């Protein structure tokens, strides 16, 4: 891995036909968060397309290993051990090197290590629920973690979030601090999740679902899931905080 800055240019516009509208009443949080005025398109300047650059020496040796990075010596978190891996790519399919990827998630009981999470699921003393890594030369990344559990949330009378992992990306430009969620293949809660159902395009939803990859499991130890991310362009992964483009 090197610390050289990745190439950057003007960013492709977002395809509004596959991304959710800002105002979707079935997802209650969107009512207060959606803009009330028409969006304004602003061109890319040097401040949007340049930097930041992250050095791999800034990360700890277990930052991308959520099984180890919070657990006590000789201990490990409770739950299904998994590897999540993939590539971060641009519109051309070219891997993006040197991008910072951060993740956070609930534990196997569906509870976050956060003061505002009051769900009755127990906290795991050996699981912090967050990690980070920097993409390699071909945009590759990898995390080792515990599969998060589903949990109820006060959107409707009986709404549950599917098992998911939050991804935060710092791409080649400052305007590319993007956030999304990764779901798991075969989860029946995906199709009834009010957040997922704000996405009008079924193919876009499929891009948010990690695929079980038995070829990359560790026998008798860890299952593997592949989740690739497209950072910009009409085939980009759906991101929550950049409806105007990425």
Which one of the listed residues 166, 183, 225, 232 is annotated catalytic? 166
pLDDT less than 50: residues of the chain: 1, 6, 8
Query: Contact 238/199 with Cβ under 8 angstroms?
Result: yes
Report the CATH number at residue 169.
Answer: 2.60.130.10
Give the model's pLDDT for residue 242: 55
Residue 210 CB neighbour total at 10 angstroms = 21
Residue 40 CB neighbour total at 10 angstroms = 7
In-domain check, residue 91: yes
Active site residue 27: no
In-domain check, residue 145: yes
In-domain check, residue 226: yes
In-domain check, residue 204: yes
Give the model's pLDDT for residue 73: 93
In-domain check, residue 172: yes
Which one of the listed residues 111, 132, 161, 232 is annotated catalytic? 161
In-domain check, residue 4: no
Active site residue 114: no
In-domain check, residue 92: yes
Which one of the listed residues 85, 151, 183, 225 is annotated catalytic? 151
Q: Which domain holds residue 187?
A: 60-230
What distance in Å separates the CA atoms of residue 50 and residue 171, rounded to the nearest whole number?
10
Task: Using CB atoms within 10 Å of the CB of residue 241, give its burial: 0 to 12 exposed, 13 to 18 middle, 19+ buried.
Answer: exposed
Residue 218 CB neighbour total at 10 angstroms = 11
Active site residue 23: no
Contacts of 38 (CB under 8 A, 6+ apart): none
Active site residue 56: no
Query: Contact 199/20 with Cβ under 8 angstroms?
Result: yes
In-domain check, residue 166: yes
Active site residue 164: yes
Which one of the listed residues 111, 132, 164, 232 is annotated catalytic? 164
pLDDT tens track for 33-70? 888 887 776 666 655 555 555 555 678 889 999 999 99
Which one of the listed residues 112, 141, 183, 225 is annotated catalytic? 112
The number of folded domains in the chain is: 1
């Amino acid at each position: 891995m090197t610390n050289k800055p990745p190439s950057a240019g003007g960013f492709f516009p977002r395809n509004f036909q596959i991304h959710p509208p800002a105002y979707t009443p079935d997802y209650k949080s969107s009512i207060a968060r959606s803009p009330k005025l028409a969006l304004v398109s602003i061109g890319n300047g040097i401040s949007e397309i340049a930097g930041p650059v992250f050095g791999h020496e800034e990360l700890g040796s277990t930052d991308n290993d959520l099984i180890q990075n919070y657990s006590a010596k000789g201990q490990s978190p409770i739950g299904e051990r998994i590897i999540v891996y993939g590539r971060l790519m641009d519109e051309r399919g070219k891997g993006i090197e040197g991008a910072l990827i951060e993740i956070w998630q609930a534990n196997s009981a569906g509870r976050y290590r956060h003061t505002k999470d009051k769900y009755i699921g127990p906290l795991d003393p050996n699981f912090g629920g967050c990690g980070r890594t920097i993409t390699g030369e071909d945009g590759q990344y990898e995390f080792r973690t515990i599969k998060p559990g589903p949990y109820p949330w006060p959107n409707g009378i009986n709404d549950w979030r599917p098992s998911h992992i939050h991804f935060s990306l710092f791409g080649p430009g400052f305007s590319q601090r993007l956030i999304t969620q990764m779901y798991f293949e075969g989860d029946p809660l995906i199709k009834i999740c009010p957040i997922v159902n704000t996405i009008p395009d079924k193919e876009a939803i499929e891009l948010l679902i990690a695929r079980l990859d038995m070829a990359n499991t560790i026998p008798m130890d860890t299952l593997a899931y592949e989740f690739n991310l497209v950072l910009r362009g009409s085939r980009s992964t759906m991101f929550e905080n950049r409806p105007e483009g990425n």
